[in-house]
Amino acid sequence: MENLLHSLYNDFKWSQDKKEALFLICKALGIKGTTPERYVSHRWLSVYDVSIDTMGMWDAYYVFYYSFLSDADRTTYLAPLLQIYKDHNVAKSTQEAIKKVQNKFKTRKMTEGRESTKRILSKLFYTGPKTKVILHIFTSVLPLLKKYVLIFLQECMVHLLNDKQSKLMKNFLVCFIKPEKLTDASQRRLQKLDLNDVSNHLPDTEVHLVKYIRKNLPKTVAADLTKKLMEAYVKCGVCLQRKMPINNELLKSISSIDPRCRGHTATLKFLSKLPELVTNVVNGEGDKAKYDMEVRLYQLNDHRNPQYRSELEHSGLLEKPDRQVSTAIQDGVCPSVMLPCTNG
């Protein structure tokens, strides 16, 4: 799939006449035209954005690259072409204008980009249904991972990070793992869950996107792609277990700063442990005693106390509250000694 995305980018990168022809076809089909973007291999989530654009431009690419098919292949793939015209209500006169553009590129001798064009023809026409299914898989699953990455491009509140990591883990694993294994699972249990154990897997028909695959592909092709999808789910899940610090003591303790957690013994326990984990904030026995008393009073304090609201405003938490906890933050308080931790 990455080869298709690279080939589309390279095919239009230096060819202005190809770009013009593509945008003419987009206009005729009523599609918003976009120039193929570059897929950057070391920024692997960029494949999601490029896949979204490719899906949106699929019909336009099909009509454009129909130009480069042999006469025999043109006959074979004529019916889908006419269906595209029908779906987009393309008038006969416009179809004739597009045909002239196609014939122009058909008669042109291709020197540069010949191999790139061959790869594109293979993915669009010869294995087109499978290519569309894989693009659909990319655009359905990758948003879960990208949403988490985007947290770090915004004003991140570190006390929410552990919850977001745990949520990402569960949201991804439920694609192929039985929900009862995840619903009440602790963070430690999530990290220890054996994802290779098929007894933890959902039945094939209930795995995310398997029904879609079987509906849109021949039986043998669907079986092969389903196997690869399960392997990818397991591999990615194991990677998340290994790299996602959902059971990190520091992040778990910091999460107790969230005002919604007040009034519980577990919150008091985690907050009391923070000075041991962040050793450069609270120093000396006097400061430790003061901090210990403050976290205890924090469990009982009037959440509308002007002193704490002033400290929150100073830290920036009230100015740009996180949407998910805006009410809790605006109505709640955090221990003032540890407030610097909550600005990310």
Distance, in Å, from the CA atom of 276 to the CA atom of 259, rounded to the nearest integer, reads 21
> For residue 40, which of 11, 1, 6, 4 has the smallest C-alpha distance?
6
- 20-45: pLDDT as tens digits: 999 999 999 999 988 888 877 767 77
- 136-191: pLDDT as tens digits: 999 999 998 888 888 887 766 788 888 889 999 999 999 999 999 998 888 889 99
117 in Cβ contact with 65 (< 8 Å): yes
By CB atoms closer than 10 A (0-12, 13-18, 19+), residue 6 is middle
- 208-218: pLDDT as tens digits: 999 999 999 99
Domain residue limits, the chain? 2-126, 138-243, 253-343
Instruction: Give the model's pLDDT for residue 109.
Output: 55
Contacts of 140 by beta carbon, 8 Å cutoff, 6+ apart: 208, 209
The sign of the torsion formed by the CA atoms of 223, 226, 4, 51 equals: positive
Instruction: Give the model's pLDDT for residue 256.
Output: 83
Instruction: Give the model's pLDDT for residue 320.
Output: 41
- 259-278: pLDDT as tens digits: 777 888 888 888 888 888 88
pLDDT at residue 335 tops 90: no
Q: What is the mean pLDDT of the chain?
A: 83
Instruction: Give the model's pLDDT for residue 306.
Output: 55
What is the average per-residue pLDDT within 233-237?
96
Please give, one letter per residue, the 3-state secondary structure of the chain: CHHHHHHHHHHHHCCHHHHHHHHHHHHHHCCCCCCCCCCCCCCCCHHHHHHHHHHHCHHHHHHHHHHHCCHHHHHHCHHHHHHHHHHCCCCHHHHHHHHHHHHHHHHCCCCCCHHHHHHHHHHHHHCHHHHHHHHHHHHHHHHHHHHHHHHHHCCCCHHHHHHHHHHHHHHHHCCCECHHHCCCCCHHHHHHCCCCCHHHECCHHHCCCHHHHHHHCCHHHHHHHHHHHHHHHHHHHHHHHHHCCCCCHHHHHHHHHCHHHCCCHHHHHHHHHHHHHCCCCCCHHHHHHHHHHHHHHHCCCCCCCHHHHHHHHHHCCCCCCCHHHHHHHHHCCCCHHHHHHHHC
